[in-house]
Structure 1
Amino acid sequence: MDRRSLLFTTAAFASFPPLLFGYAMGTKKNIKSFGKAYAYLLEPALRQREVGTSQLVIDSAEFSGVAFQHVAWHKVRFVNCDFVGAYEIKLSELRDCVFEDCRFAGIINWGISRSIRFVRCQAGGQSNVIDLSGSSDVHFESCSFVGKAQSPNNWGGIGSRGDATFVDCKAKWFELAGYKKIVLDRCEAQDIGIWTDSPANSGASYESAAVTIQTSKFRGVLDMAARDLQSLTIRDTVLEHLNLNNAAIKSDVLIERVKGGFINAGVTAKSFSIRNSEVFGNGKNISFVMPMDSAQQVLLESTNFGTGPMQRVNLGPGRPLQDSEWQAAPINSLAVVRNCTLPIVDASWLETQRLVFEGNTIGSLDISNGRIGQLEVNGNSVDRSVNLAKTQVKESKIQVFAKDQAKFDGSNLKAR
């Protein structure tokens, strides 16, 4: 894969909207001038008495300077409306509503949201547009979100404290939220974060998001560092830098058919799999980081981790371990690296019940200082060196290496 294919030109984001905090007030009629429609939004019981459950349509209104507090909006279609202001909209409930070609520049709380559609909408600056826990079925289609500045401290955020789906959306310097589920499908983004619930936010009963990303393109950093997730699936996606450092994932991680730059997969997880992918480092000497002993099972399969002779893949803890840090029962029960291309592999100081390197093309391989139940190294093509010094193994099946290619000093292994 040509590394240039990872880098998106600024033209890819030229269609992003201008920052909404520069929006000129007064270009639309204020909602206060909408007569009965305004009254129905302020007093839903009045609407129920007079028109029942028929849909209410609000077209080309500006929502500013009016407090809509603790009211429920049901079956409202907002068309070409601007929502500008902070803390003025704080609903109890939003249900069966559609927002078409609307703009958001402020802090908005929709209450508990159910069956909501945002179509071709825009949010910008440090806007925070969110709902309450208990929300469900919130969809964003062909929307654009652009933050105010590159610093994450100045990013805006949008999504749901339930489940949020983003289809054909664009984002830059923004966080996309989902507490139970987040789906990103056919999206393009630059430097964004995924915003999920956490024990620090909600205590022991916090929501745990299942995140699915497919057929999307990400320039800059896709940031999920230190996030608490139920699961993560990324398929058929191009990304420049995926940051999962210190993410806690209760179930499984699957990365499949991904073309990537640098992946920091410093996660705890039940299982972690990357297969049929290309991860070339995007100019960095390290293309992939995954401490394999932090997941119960790890599979790296049919993946190219770089072609440069100095390209590194770090699969160990990344530092020497003290005697007290070795696990009585290793967390990792199985780590398999199969049919991959890896110029430099550092799997030193690794503790696992079973480690398998099979059918790989490797420049140099370091499995030194490990504590391994079963070690299998079979059918690999190794150009330079294999370091097994000071590694202790209960059972082993190791291929024959060229003379003086493998180092066994201080291990309980012997060259064949």
Structure 2
Amino acid sequence: MTTPITSLQKEYIRLLDGSAAAMTIAGADLTPGAFVGVAWRNLTFTGCDFAGDGNVRLSSMADCHFIDCRFLAPNHDFGVMQRVRFAQCRSQGRSVFCGRDGSRDVVFEGCTFSGGGSAPADFEGIGCTGEVVFRQCTGHGDVLVAGTRLTIERCQFDNMTFVIGRQRSRGAPLAATVVIDHSQGTGVWRLVDGRMKTSHIRNSSFERIVNDGSECEA
């Protein structure tokens, strides 16, 4: 059972002050808190729950780790992310937790995404609109997002939607480099209105890939 973050006074203040002091927050429920316009740095979350709708709207996030955390259908904006790791985390329900343009060194490793049903027309999901790696992850019916680089290594994804890059019709254009290695896709992999620079697929297999208006940069 997780503890509401608002009842952990020291940890709650640390999440609002934007300081660089390292802290580990364990077994907390972040849902009751409101974290808007702040920067998170040098934080480790372990065994925490993230839910709610818009209570986490950061300006940036750097050198943060999420270990064995649950994302329970949240809608969170993590700002510009740098050197952020998600390890053995799980999402349940349609989840949006994503970093903005310019994010880099964002890694999801050993995570499980269970969206229940993908949303091909929705450009929001899990990842960032910068550079992101999914390594040894599994997922069903969710939306993964990448901006300038997407790397998928040793993953198994079923009926997933991918928003890769960004076309001019949706704002500042982004063209992504895509690398898929030793991964398996079952059901439908749906590419939605994306923009890719190059694509490299190695030692991987797919049941069906559907391209909903994606384009390659010339």
Q: Partners of 2:215 and 2:148 in 1: how far apart? A: 15
Judging by fraction of residues, say which structure has more strand. 2
User: Which residue of the partner structure matches residue 61 of structure 1?
Assistant: 28
Residues 114/158 of structure 1: CA separation in 2 closer, same or farther (3 Å cut): same
TM-score by length of 1: 0.50
Cα RMSD over matched residues? 1.8
In the TM superposition, what is the alpha-carbon distance from 1:88 to its structure 2 partner? 0.4
User: Which residue of the partner structure matches residue 139 of structure 1?
Assistant: 107
8 Å CA contact 2:141–2:159 kept in 1: the answer is yes
Residues 226/153 of structure 1: CA separation in 2 closer, same or farther (3 Å cut): closer
User: Which residue of the partner structure matches residue 71 of structure 1?
Assistant: 38
Identity %: 28
User: Which residue of the partner structure matches residue 37 of structure 1?
Assistant: 11
- Whether 1:201 aligns to 2:170 is yes
User: Which residue of the partner structure matches residue 116 of structure 2?
Assistant: 148
Residues 69/225 of structure 1: CA separation in 2 closer, same or farther (3 Å cut): closer
Aligned residue identity for 1:63: L
Aligned residue identity for 1:89: V
Matches for 1:36-115 after TM superposition, within 5 Å: 36-44=10-18, 48=19, 53-105=20-72, 106-115=74-83
The list of structure 1 runs, each at least 4 consecutive aligned residues, that deviate by more than 6 angstroms after superposition, is none
Q: Partners of 2:122 and 2:129 in 1: how far apart? A: 20
Structure with the bigger RCO (C-alpha within 8 Å, sep 6+) is 2
Query: Rg: which structure is higher?
Result: 1
TM-score by length of 2: 0.93
8 Å CA contact 1:157–1:175 kept in 2: the answer is yes
Q: Partners of 2:60 and 2:190 in 1: how far apart? A: 30
SS of 2:52's partner is strand
8 Å CA contact 1:162–1:181 kept in 2: the answer is yes
Q: Return the match for 1:216 from 183, 188, 192.
A: 183
Judging by fraction of residues, say which structure has more helix. 1
User: Which residue of the partner structure matches residue 28 of structure 1?
Assistant: 2
Q: Partners of 2:158 and 2:144 in 1: how far apart? A: 12
Which stretches in structure 1 are left out of the alignment for 5+ residues? Answer: 1-26, 252-416
Task: Output one character per residue of 1:324-378: Cα deviation in whole Å (capped at 9) or x when no partner.
Answer: xxxxxxxxxxxxxxxxxxxxxxxxxxxxxxxxxxxxxxxxxxxxxxxxxxxxxxx
SS of 1:95's partner is strand
User: Which residue of the partner structure matches residue 325 of structure 1?
Assistant: none
Which stretches in structure 2 are left out of the alignment for 5+ residues? Answer: none
Aligned residue identity for 2:7: S
8 Å CA contact 2:124–2:145 kept in 1: the answer is no
Aligned residue identity for 2:4: N
In the TM superposition, what is the alpha-carbon distance from 1:101 to its structure 2 partner? 0.3
User: Which residue of the partner structure matches residue 390 of structure 1?
Assistant: none
